[in-house]
Amino acid sequence: MNLDIAVLAGDGIGPEVVDQAQKVSNAIAKKYGHTINWTPALTGAAAIDAVGNPYPDETHQICMNADAVLFGAIGLPRFDNDPSNPVRPEQGLLAMRKKLGLYANIRPTLVFPSLLHKSPLRQELIENADFVCIRELTGGIYFGDKGRDESRNTAYDHCVYTREEVERIIRLAYSYAMQRNKKLTIVDKANVLETSRLWREVGQGLEKEYPEVKTEYLLVDAAAMRIIQWPEGFDVMVTENMFGDILTDEASVISGSMGLMPSASIGLHTSVFEPIHGSYPQATGLNIANPIGTVLSAAMMFEYAFKLMDEAQEIKDVVNKSLAEGVVTEDIAGKDKAYGTSEVGDWLAAQIK
Ligand SMILES: NC(=O)c1ccc[n+]([C@@H]2O[C@H](COP(=O)([O-])OP(=O)(O)OC[C@H]3O[C@@H](n4cnc5c(N)ncnc54)[C@H](O)[C@@H]3O)[C@@H](O)[C@H]2O)c1
Ligand SMILES: CC(C)[C@H](C(=O)O)[C@@H](O)C(=O)O
Ligand SMILES: [Mg+2]
């Protein structure tokens, strides 16, 4: 197959972790007889510095023309620490999600048998944890009207959801639940928020179409607690944009490091594959960032975008081997026994022959 992939490496550790995912993808392509055409494109602070726009039109065209997009991370402290700056790297990520229609972000919570002892949670709580969060990605408070009043003493962010947006994402979540263990947890804040009451109403309307699935509703504060207390109780979780952002960072620590967690953003046009972590600016250029979240995002790309299941499985297998054999970065190994970011990528690619 010919695979046209846009590469938006972004800022901070983005380029370093994306490099490793490209090495592994190239090794897979070589083994299975595919040709990958990588097209790099600017985003985030790198794009602001180059052309003044965090998601330039040219980048959007490259994404639209690609079969899939591999995304690193965006964001830098010089923007985070200057709230008055009207142009920000994160706007590039949000513009990409909106313009590509990426309404669903699939974030699995993975537990690796060889890393059980690295989790801050006790082994018996997590050894059978295996759930996926379906995060709504193009609506809610991220995209509602926002601003300041004239005196600048008041700020607002509106949270808006349409029935159609909610129904689309909950239906998708039901389709995942049907393929998994047939349990769906709809996370909201229906005791306070009107948007959440719409989510609950839509969920209750759809329940009867999926009688085989056990549906439960959980308030987001209780969900945050349950992720730590009983993660094995979840199968598929679906929630709105901001709750999903927060809960998946929380859930990532179950695995031992946020640097391990991949995601797939799917929707109307092309799909984007991105680790859930950010640009981890303190680690930029130090060759210490964990590339596995991005490598596993590439595995999701082979599975979701190209339906190449053997290729995806082989990437997951070599990742498991690296974790079992201790070929890991310092977030997992500690400084003394750590491999560098690029050494992990080289090792993974070399296993694929
Ligand atoms: N999708 C994205 O591009 C994305 C996601 C989150 C944050 N951000 C941006 O990243 C910048 C930094 O944000 P932050 O510090 O809150 O979040 P972050 O995810 O960059 O880092 C938080 C912590 O997670 C750990 N971590 C993250 N990635 C890791 C990796 N690959 N290997 C090992 N450890 C890793 C580190 O301990 C780090 O201090 C901000 O500008 C933020 O807006 C971007
Ligand atoms: C950088 C930020 C806009 C982004 C989000 O909140 O969606 C990030 O935290 C993520 O999880 O991809
Ligand atoms: Mg996040």
Domain ranges of the chain: 1-103+261-353, 120-255
DSSP secondary structure string, 10-67? ESTTHHHHHHHHHHHHHHHHHHHT-EEEEEE---HHHHHHHHS-SS-HHHHHHHHHSS
247 Cα to the center of ligand 3, angstroms: 9
Is residue 317 flagged as an active site residue?
Answer: no
User: What pLDDT was estimated at residue 84?
Assistant: 86
Neighbouring-strand partners of residue 266: 104
Is residue 245 flagged as an active site residue?
Answer: yes
Within 10 angstroms of residue 308's Cβ, the number of other Cβ atoms is: 20
**What are the tens digits of pLDDT across the range 120-142?**
999 999 999 999 999 999 999 99
Q: Is the pLDDT of residue 188 over 90?
A: yes
Whether 47 contacts 63, CB under 8 Å: no
User: What pLDDT was estimated at residue 226?
Assistant: 98
Alpha-carbon distance of 319 to 252, in angstroms, equals 17
Is residue 280 flagged as an active site residue?
Answer: no
Q: Catalytic: which of 245, 280, 331, 339?
A: 245
**DSSP secondary structure letter of residue 140:** G
Q: Which residue from 90, 97, 277 has its CB within 8 A of the most atoms of ligand 2, so it is best to mutate?
A: 90
**What are the tens digits of pLDDT across the range 302-317?**
999 999 999 999 999 9
Question: Which residue type sits at 226?
Answer: R
User: What pLDDT was estimated at residue 24?
Assistant: 98
Domains 1-103+261-353 and 120-255 share a fold: yes
Return the ligand 1 atom nearest residue 10 CA: 3
Residue 150: which pLDDT band, with cuts at 50, 70 and 90? confident
Pocket of ligand 1 (CB under 6 A): 13, 17, 73-76, 80, 90, 93, 257-259, 274, 277-281, 289-290, 293, 331
> Is 0.95 exceeded by the ipTM?
yes
46 Cα to the center of ligand 3, angstroms: 19
Alpha-carbon distance of 62 to 83, in angstroms, equals 30
Q: Is 258 near ligand 2, meaning CB less than 6 Å away?
A: no
Q: Catalytic: which of 221, 307, 317, 337?
A: 221
Q: Is the pLDDT of residue 241 over 90?
A: yes
Task: Provide the CB-side half-sphere exposure for 140 (13 A, CA).
Answer: 22
Largest alpha-carbon pair distance within the chain? Answer: 64
Task: Give CATH superfamily name and number for 120-255.
Answer: Isopropylmalate Dehydrogenase (3.40.718.10)
Stretch 233-245: mean pLDDT: 98
Q: Is 75 near ligand 2, meaning CB less than 6 Å away?
A: yes
Is residue 118 flagged as an active site residue?
Answer: no
Q: Is the pLDDT of residue 329 over 90?
A: yes
Q: What is the mean pLDDT of the chain?
A: 97
Task: Give CATH superfamily name and number for 1-103+261-353.
Answer: Isopropylmalate Dehydrogenase (3.40.718.10)
Q: Catalytic: which of 4, 130, 249, 346?
A: 249
User: What pLDDT was estimated at residue 152?
Assistant: 86
